Amino acid sequence: MYTIGQVAKLFHLPISTIRYYDKEGLFPTLERTSGIRKFSETELETLRMIECLKKSGLEIKEIKQFMEWCSQGSSTYEKRHELFLHQQEIVEQKIEKLEKVLDMIRFKCWYYEQAIQDGNEERLKELIPDALPEKIKKLYERAHEE
Figure out which of the listed residues 15, 61, 84, 129 binds a copy of itself, where binding follows CB under 8 A: 84
CA distances in angstroms from 20 to 12, 24, 37, 88, listed in the order given: 15, 6, 13, 27
* Contacting residues for 26 by C-beta, under 8 A, at least 6 apart: 46, 50, 60, 63, 64, 67
Residue 91: count of CB within 10 angstroms of its CB: 14
Figure out which of the listed residues 44, 49, 52, 60 binds DNA, where binding follows CB under 7 A: 60
DSSP state, 58? -
Least gap, CB of 97 to a copy of itself (angstroms): 6
Pick between residue 35 and residue 119 the one whose CB is nearest to a copy of itself: 119
Give the one entry of a copy of itself, DNA, none that residue 17 binds, where binding means its C-beta sits below a cut-off of 5 to 8 angstroms depending on kind.
Answer: DNA
Q: What are the residues binding a copy of itself (CB under 8 A)?
A: 48-49, 52, 55-56, 74, 77-78, 80-81, 84-85, 87-88, 91-92, 94-95, 97-99, 101-102, 104-106, 108-109, 112-113, 115-116, 119-121, 143-144
